[in-house]
A and B are shown apart, each in its own frame.
Chain A
Amino acid sequence: KNEVEQSPQNLTAQEGEFITINCSYSVGISALHWLQQHPGGGIVSLFMLSSGKKKHGRLIATINIQEKHSSLHITASHPRDSAVYICAVRSMETSGSRLTFGEGTQLTVNP
């Protein structure tokens, strides 16, 4: 079982819908990252969280350390949001700066 589980694996939405992607992890962490991988393959860091909530434009990321759970929300979704969204954690139990990744959520937003 992967230390980082994401749901759903695939998500299809209509333009304008509110989207939530979930990430659960089983280890103590020092930080959690949300990444976006474009259809062309490039990876961009969206958020890095250790507590609470962060907002950037239409994207909101939250984390609940006690429940070992994070969510990525997209408000007023747009076809250009179509991408793979990846959750990754920096475990406190491992040394160095290793990230452990979830398997990603493929989001498709239809016009």
Chain B
Amino acid sequence: RKEVEQDPGPFNVPEGATVAFNCTYSNSASQSFFWYRQDCRKEPKLLMSVYSSGNEDGRFTAQLNRASQYISLLIRDSKLSDSATYLCVVILISSGSARQLTFGSGTQLTVLP
């Protein structure tokens, strides 16, 4: 079983739609959670951190459910510019206090005009 699992999609949604992605992780000791966005042929960039209390950044809302070991990302009022691959990222503190990222394989979103 993969440590971090995401539905690869693709999700094709019309402009203005609300879309949600889920991600599950297997290691209950995971400590930090993020969503990254990756545009085609570019490097991943941090979109937002994910907290147990839930957090919102404009049209984006992230939630963490530690009991069920999943995180979610909700995008409201989708824009064409939201088209990208969204990567779920989980961090474990490993030896020497190194913070090791584990990535999901990404969910591809295409917002259609």
Q: Do A and B come from one complex?
A: no
Q: Give A residues with C-beta under 8 Å from B.
A: none
Q: Give B residues with C-beta under 8 Å from A.
A: none
